[in-house]
Chain A
Amino acid sequence: MEYLLAFLVGGSICAVGQLLMDLTPLTPAHVLVLFVSLGAVLSGLGIYEKLVQIGGAGATIPLTGFGHSIVSGIFEEIDAKGAVGILSGVFKNTSMGIAAAVFFGFVMALLFNPKE
C-alpha cells in the first residue's frame, strides 16, 4: 500500500511539473527552482508534512521534498535554539543529500566522458 501511495503522490507531483513545462514557457530549470521554493512554502504552512505522511518517498524524493527538508531543519533548530536556528537549520536535514550530490557528481564527472 505504501508503495502504491508513493507511486501516486510522486507521479502526481511530476505530472504537475510536466504540465508546467508543456503549457507555460518555463524550462526544466525554472520548474526545479519553482518546486523547491513551493515545497518550502507548503512545508511552512504545515501542508507538506501531511503529504509526506501519506506519500512517503513519493513526497520526499521529488524536489519539493528538498524544500520541505530545508524548512523542517530550520523549524527544529528554531524550536531548540531560537533565532540562530533560522540559519543553522538550513542544512540540518539536507546536508547528506547536498554532500552526496557534490561528491558523487564530481566523481562521476571525473570517471565519464561526453557521449558523441
Chain B
Amino acid sequence: MSAQDPNLDKKLYYWRVQQKKPKPPVLRNTLLAFIVGGLICVLGQAVMAFFQSLGMTAKEAAGPTASVMVFLGAFFTGLGWYDELGKFAGAGSVIPITGFANSIVSPAIDFKREGFVLGLGARMFSVAGPVLVYGTVTAVVVGIVYWITKL
C-alpha cells in the first residue's frame, strides 16, 4: 500500500473486518425477538386486564402494570433466567420494560462487590441512566414545542 493515501489502509482494514465478521442470522433473530417481545407484551396486557378488572381505567392501570412488569424483570434477572432468555430473544427481551429492569439489576449484582454505594448504587444506572437522560431531554424539548404552539 502506498503511503500517499493513509485512508486506503483504513478502508481495506474495514472491508476485511466486514468480510471476516460472522454474519448474524438476521431472519432468525428478528423472528425470535418478535415472538418473545410479543409474548412479554401479552403478559403485560393480562396484568393490565387484571388491574382494569379492579375498576381502574386503562390509563390508571398503566402505572401498576409497569410496576409489576418491572418487578418480574428484576426478579427473573436475580434468578439468572432473564439473561438466559436474552441469549436467544435479543431485542425481544431488551426492548420491553422488563428489559429496562434487567439493565438495572444485572450490573448492580455484578458490581456489588465494589461496595454498596459506588458498586451496586452507581452501576444500577449504567444503562438506565442514559435512558432516563435522553428520554427526559427529548420529552422536555417536545413539551417546549407543544407549549409554544399553544400560545
Contact = CB atoms under 8 A, between A and B. Distances in A.
Contacts of B19: none
B77 A58 contact: no
B85 interface: no
B41 A86 contact: no
Contact of A74 (B34, B105, B142): B142
Nearest to A79: B150
Contacts of B132: 98
A53 B50 CA distance: 18
A8 B37 CA distance: 9
Given A40-B135, A104-B70, A6 B42 contact: yes
Which of A15, A19, A40 counts the most B-chain CB atoms under 10 A from its CB? Answer: A15
A20 B41 CA distance: 20
A78 B140 CA distance: 11
Contacts of A21: 29, 90-91
A109 B91 contact: no
Given A37-B134, A63-B131, A74-B139, A10 B97 contact: no
Band of interface residues on B: 35 or more
B92 A18 contact: yes
A97 B95 contact: no
Interface residues of A, number: 78
Contact of A97 (B29, B41, B70, B91): B70
A7 B96 CA distance: 12
A54 interface: no
Contact of B120 (A6, A40, A104, A106): A106
Contact of A71 (B26, B90, B98, B143): B143
Interface of B: 24, 26, 29-42, 44-48, 58, 62-67, 69-71, 74-75, 77-80, 83, 90-92, 94-101, 103-105, 108-110, 112, 120, 124, 127-128, 130-132, 134-136, 138-140, 142-147, 150
11 contacts: A14-B94, A18-B90, A32-B131, A33-B134, A37-B135, A57-B47, A70-B135, A75-B146, A98-B132, A101-B101, A108-B105
